Amino acid sequence: MISFKSFALLVLLSCLSVLFTNPSSVSAFSSTVDDIKGACEEAITNYYDLCVESLKSDPRHLKTGPNELGKLSMQISLENATAIQSDMQKLVKNNATKNAVAKETLGFCIKRYNTTINNIRSAVTQFKLPIPPEGSPLNNLLYYAGLNVTSCEEHLRSHGGLAYFVPRSQILSHLISVATDLVIFLEV
């Protein structure tokens, strides 16, 4: 039987395989695996392994400076949220579920994911170094993005029928938490 941690990393890595490098985010620096491990450790994230694996498996880390790992983490979260929402929308569009409660749950989650995507996109757009010590709107944007994902996850659990999305939502929630921790680390 596969453990949840192994399953989570497998899902994450499969989601990351669809990522593309964005030339506009190229930095003159690059992050080594040691830089990634150091940032994840210093950010004191609850999801150290996910932090390290998500960043080092994304080829953009090679063109991202260590101080921009928070932005890369947000981009990874954004791409995962977009992929999950797209899968939900396909189910609705293809009438793949005849269950009225499942359709309602998908509609609920699609709306929550839309807000999540908009919040993370705004956070990525607003990311600038140095992050002021008094804080930035990034933390609030990421907090509410995570809250919407958790709300969807709870709805999925309580209404059943769509168990496939629960672990994906959990991983996304953890990715957003990692991004938040990295951004907070950069504020210090």
DSSP 132: P
Mean pLDDT of the chain: 83
- What is the CATH architecture of 69-187? Up-down Bundle (1.20)
pTM summary value: 0.82
pLDDT of residue 133: 65
- Would the pLDDT of 57 be above 90? yes
Q: Which residues contact 89 (CB under 8 A, 6 or more apart)?
A: 110
pLDDT of residue 17: 40
- Would the pLDDT of 16 be above 50? no
Backbone angles phi, psi at 171, to 5 degrees: -60, -45
Provide mean pLDDT across the span 70-82: 96
- In this structure, are residues 172 and 15 in contact, taking their beta carbons and an 8 Å threshold? no
Q: How much of the chain exceeds pLDDT 70, in percent? A: 80
DSSP three-state, residue 135: coil
Neighbours of 110 (CB within 10 A): 17
Q: Convert the pLDDT of each residue in 29-47 to its tens digit.
A: 677 889 999 999 999 999 9
Provide mean pLDDT across the span 140-162: 91
pLDDT of residue 131: 73
Distance CA 46, CA 25 (A): 27
- In this structure, are residues 24 and 61 in contact, taking their beta carbons and an 8 Å threshold? no
Q: Convert the pLDDT of each residue in 159-172 to its tens digit.
A: 876 888 999 999 99
Q: Convert the pLDDT of each residue in 93-142 to its tens digit.
A: 888 777 888 889 999 999 999 999 999 999 999 888 777 666 578 889 99
Report cis status (omega within 30 of 0) of the bond before 133: no
- Would the pLDDT of 7 be above 70? no
